[in-house]
Amino acid sequence: MNSQLVLTMGQEALWMLLMISAPVLGVVLVVGLLVSIFQAVTQINEATLAFVPKLIAAIAVFTLAGPWMLGMLVEYIRRTIEAIPASVM
């Protein structure tokens, strides 16, 4: 196993992490921003008002994009496991 292969595998792992986490983080970011704007406009300073909508949004994204995320992860793990014999030699 040479250093180029290790760097390529690490790069693919980081790219996969970004691809899988981006939908959830993006939606939670937008919901958090909207709730913060709402709190600033109405001057309501309640911590649960910021937490509950983000939690519901994250659950909704996991429900909708969960199968896609799982499929991407399974495909990546399958490719990684299949590459083990070629990288040992």
Q: Is the pLDDT of residue 2 over 90?
A: no
Q: How many helices (H) and strands (E) does the chain have?
A: 3, 0
Strand segments (E) across 5-84: none
Q: Is the pLDDT of residue 27 over 80?
A: yes
d(CA 52, CA 67): 24
Domain limits, the chain: 3-88
Mean pLDDT across the stretch 19-31? 95
Instruction: Taking the CA atoms of 71, 22, 25 and 64 in sequence, report the sign of the dihedral they define.
Output: negative
Taking only the tens place, the pLDDT of each residue in 49-83 is: 889 999 999 999 999 999 999 999 999 999 999 98
Taking only the tens place, the pLDDT of each residue in 5-24 is: 889 889 999 999 999 999 99
Q: What is the pTM of this model?
A: 0.79
d(CA 7, CA 18): 16
Are 54 and 32 in contact by the 8 Å Cβ rule? The answer is: yes
Instruction: Taking the CA atoms of 8, 13, 16 and 22 in sequence, report the sign of the dihedral they define.
Output: negative
